[in-house]
Amino acid sequence: MFVFFCTNCFSQEKYALISGKIISFNNSVGHVHIVNLNSKTGAVSNDSGEFELIVSLNDTLLFSSIEYEIKKIKMTENFIKYKRILVELIPYVNELDEIYIEGLTGNLNYDINKAPKDTLRKHTFILKPGDLKKALPPDTHVFLKAPNVNPFAMSGGSIPIPDPRYEAEQRLKREISRKKQFPIKIRKQFGLAYFTDKLKIPEEKIDNFLAYCEFRNIITEYYNNNLLQVIQILREESEAYNAIKN
């Protein structure tokens, strides 16, 4: 019974949604890319340096930003238990090679007067105000084609105006694409074992289970990065789904 209790506790702590903050010299660091090298998922810190990411025990997180040195942190039992991490980055110093300039005395006025003159020829084109009223010659490049435009977004051939039908069609296409990609994205982010082991959903029934959860607005919550709400929906609805299945 003791071994079973320890195993059960470990399985409960196998996955965790950790929240973190990234700082450098006590200042928040935003727009840092965080990548879970094991699950291939990631996040970006906000302006306050905060982020959230689902991790497992022994996962390695990589923190990278163009202004700071790359840092890797392995997820230990303490991170999984307390679900909080504070990351301090070190600024990256890009040292350039030293350049020696010869022929300068250090006297700015003297060196400017001794600077070589520009040898490039200056243009002789002069635009007069009366030239603005001249008519341009006809276009002889007839082989050039006009760019493609959206017929719904043009009125009179020159002034673009928003078209409700076109915008509604584009919104519908985006919504259908998001809905089709949702099962793929969530399975990749949470991992197959989360559904089969944690929620007891057979692998071949995962897509059907996710469709069962749609009435809880799980897709909207997922794309709004409300992962805690998504996890709560999955846990609650998995019990009802498994009860129906059995």
CA distances from 148 to 69, 124, 151, 153 (A): 45, 38, 9, 12
Q: What distance in Å separates the CA atoms of residue 64 and residue 44, rounded to the nearest whole number?
A: 10
Nearest to 244 by CA among 200, 192, 191: 200
Pairing relationship of beta strands 33-36 and 41-44 according to DSSP bridges: antiparallel
Pairing relationship of beta strands 159-160 and 154-155 according to DSSP bridges: antiparallel
pLDDT digits (tens, 9 = 90+) for 137-172: 666 555 555 555 555 444 444 555 667 888 888 888
The dihedral sign for the CA sequence 219, 220, 224, 226? negative
- Nearest-5° Cα angle at 13, 211 to 229: 35
Q: What is the pTM of this model?
A: 0.39
Phi then psi for 51, rounded to 5 degrees? -155, 165
Give the confidence band of 4 by pLDDT, cuts at 50, 70, 90: very low
CA distances from 39 to 2, 33, 123, 185, 219 (A): 31, 15, 61, 12, 21
* Across 106-110, average pLDDT: 76
pLDDT digits (tens, 9 = 90+) for 88-101: 999 987 677 777 77
H helices of 24-163, in order, are 77-82, 108-113
Domains of the chain: 10-88 (2.60.40.10), 164-245 (no CATH)
